[in-house]
A and B are shown apart, each in its own frame.
Chain A
Amino acid sequence: EDKVVQSPLSLVVHEGDTVTLNCSYEVTNFRSLLWYKQEKKAPTFLFMLTSSGIEKKSGRLSSILDKKELFSILNITATQTGDSAIYLCAVLNGGGSNYKLTFGKGTLLTVNP
Chain B
Amino acid sequence: SAVISQKPSRDICQRGTSLTIQCQVDSQVTMMFWYRQQPGQSLTLIATANQGSEATYESGFVIDKFPISRPNLTFSTLTVSNMSPEDSSIYLCSVEDIWDGYTFGSGTRLTVV
Residues in A lying within 8 Å of B, measured CB to CB: 32, 34, 40-45, 48, 88, 90, 92, 100-106
Contacts and interface: CB of A to CB of B under 8 A. Distances in A.
Interface of B: 1, 33, 41-45, 48, 58, 90, 92, 94, 97, 100-109
A23 to B, nearest CB: 12
B44, B90, B102 pick with most chain A CB within 10 angstroms: B102
Contact of A45 (B41, B42, B101, B106): B101
Contacts of A42: 92, 104-107
A41 B90 contact: yes
Nearest to A48: B101
| Interface core residue of B42, B45, B102 (most chain A CB under 10 Å) | B42
A104 B37 CA distance: 12
Determine the main DSSP class of A at the interface with B.
Answer: strand
B43 A88 contact: yes
Given A40-B107, A41-B90, 16 more contacts: A34-B102, A41-B92, A41-B108, A42-B105, A42-B106, A43-B92, A45-B1, A45-B100, A88-B42, A90-B102, A101-B43, A103-B43, A104-B42, A105-B41, A105-B42, A106-B42
